[in-house]
Amino acid sequence: MLKEKMQEALNKQINEELYSAYLYLSMSAYFDNVGLKGFANWMMVQYKEETDHAMKIYNYLLSQGATIKLLPIQQPPHEWESPLHAFQETLKHEQHITQCINDLVDLAEELKDRATYNFLQWYIDEQVEEEENDREIIDKLELIGDSKNGLLMLDKDLAQRVYVP
Ligand code: OFO
């Protein structure tokens, strides 16, 4: 049985992941509205992945006989200054999520909760990948600068991303 403190922390993380989903869904709509369908696709895939991250915790809690307590999801922003700005905000958000995961791992250690400690390793790896993806796109956007052609080429690239459940 999971300790109360861990149940609460994991319920909070479900909320963090669902907020991430909400944020990226909002960014997907923003990109769609400014005519960058490839960027919109990338964010839509990210939205689905974040929902999966939340559901993975949800299923873990249920498997441990824990209570699911869904919390209110905060309203995300709906516009950004530029694609670069949106991705800078994405990276900043992912760094926050990495911190949340690290805190959960610390808590699992403190409570000697081996099962949750093990469960969280997947999230540690996932965060490394998420931050790396964002940095890569930020680097490209910085190189592109004001070039419309460059932006459209990157848009084509990001249109290739597919959701793998
Ligand atoms: Fe769930 O990794 Fe992003 O937030």
List domains and CATH numbers for the chain. 4-159 (1.20.1260.10)
| Residues in Cβ contact with 75 at an 8 Å cutoff, skipping those fewer than 6 apart | none
Q: Closest Cα to residue 96, out of 11, 12, 1? A: 12
State how far the Cα of 20 lies from the Cα of 49, in Å rounded to an integer: 10
Q: State pLDDT tens for residues 73-131.
A: 999 999 999 999 999 999 999 999 999 999 999 999 999 999 999 999 999 999 999 99
Q: Is the dihedral of CA 51, 17, 93, 101 positive or negative?
A: negative
The model's pTM = 0.97
Atom of ligand 1 at shortest range from CA of 46: 3
Q: Which of 53, 89, 95 to mutate to test ligand 1, by most ligand atoms within 8 A of the CB atom?
A: 53
CA of 97 to the centre of ligand 1 (A): 6
In the chain, helix, strand, coil percent, each to 5? 75, 0, 25
